[in-house]
Amino acid sequence: MATGDLERGNGKSRGNCYNRSSSSYSVENDEKQWTSWLVPMFVVENVAVFCCGRCVVRFLGRLSFQPTRENPLFGPSSNTLEKLGALEWYKVVHGNQGWRLITCIWLHAGVIHLLANMLSLIFIGIRLEQQFGFIRVGLIYLLSGLGGSVLSALFIQCNISVGASGALFGLLGAMLSELLTNWTTYTNKAAALITLVVIIAINLAIGILPHVDNSAHIGGFLSGFLLGFVLLLRPQFGWVGRKNLPAGAPVKSKHKAYQYVFWVIGVDLLVVGFSVGLVMLFRGENGNDHCSWCHYLSCVPTSKWHCGNS
């Protein structure tokens, strides 16, 4: 599994930092394996947007792609990304351009950024789509990307943001909640949980570096984590194998009681979280006014770098 990072512009520059790790664990079930086509389509769409975006803005000359000393990711300038639909707080709140909360998910700061995120999407998304189908995985991807954009806009209002990392962190969050809510169906439970938690922790820790939008990572992760409880339930083995039971044999319920509890909590927190976040955003509020320490989640200043206006 792997995850890339969602780039945040610091002034007019871009940075990149990502981590890739791998793990494997098995799940004991006989559910249908779906053919993955949506995730590969997402990959193609992201690549197409990047390539077509370069053609569309070719007339901008030097603004189309920055010199490598300004953008080491081999990508377009901040001005170009802004024209193509990057997330910018002022235009979302005061320019009635809420669509930027979605379009920014399909933009990338450069070739390296695009490649890292698409490799991550392939490793994470195909597995989930094969097990749970395109509808549920597609919803998690899009809603997590939206959740990441909302939190990013609330806490980072002086820079633009692009990238699919909020959605990718949502898939990681969904994998974690899926493991917890379907705990009894897994073998090597402890190893699976430790591996996944370490991967998530490492990637979130990378987000404290400058030029990386950790607010989007966290927003996407939390959205995906809650969506996993709602959308990725597995039935009990006794219910799956009910057709093989003799007549009159007792049949287990489809889901365990704790799974229903997780489902209710997940739905409630999702509704409240998205409602509060969107209301605060379109009222023009700054999340930092309500959380004096939250800016450290996106960047921790050291002697090696400064965070500027985070």
Strands 87-88 and 2-3: unpaired
Residues 6+ apart with CB under 8 A from 217: 5, 6, 148, 165, 166, 169, 203, 204, 207
Catalytic position from the list 78, 152, 165, 215: 165
DSSP character at residue 284:
T
Dihedral-angle region of residue 175 (phi above 0 means left; psi in -120 to 50 means alpha; beta otherwise): alpha
* Three-class secondary structure of residue 191 per DSSP: helix
Let me know if 217 is a catalytic residue. yes
Q: Where are the alpha helices (DSSP H) in 107-256?
A: 111-132, 134-155, 165-181, 189-206, 214-231, 237-240
Distance CA 55, CA 62 (A): 13
Which tokens sit at 84?
């193509």
Please compute, for residue 98, the number of CA atoms within 13 A of its CA located in the half-sphere on the CB side: 10
Catalytic position from the list 78, 217, 298, 310: 217
Distance CA 306, CA 184 (A): 46
Task: Judge whether 254 and 235 are in contact, CB under 8 Å.
Answer: yes
Start-to-end Cα distance in the chain: 29
Distance CA 9, CA 16 (A): 10
Distance CA 308, CA 306 (A): 6
Let me know if 26 is a catalytic residue. no
What residues are paired with 13 via a beta bridge? 10
Catalytic positions, written as ranges? 165, 217
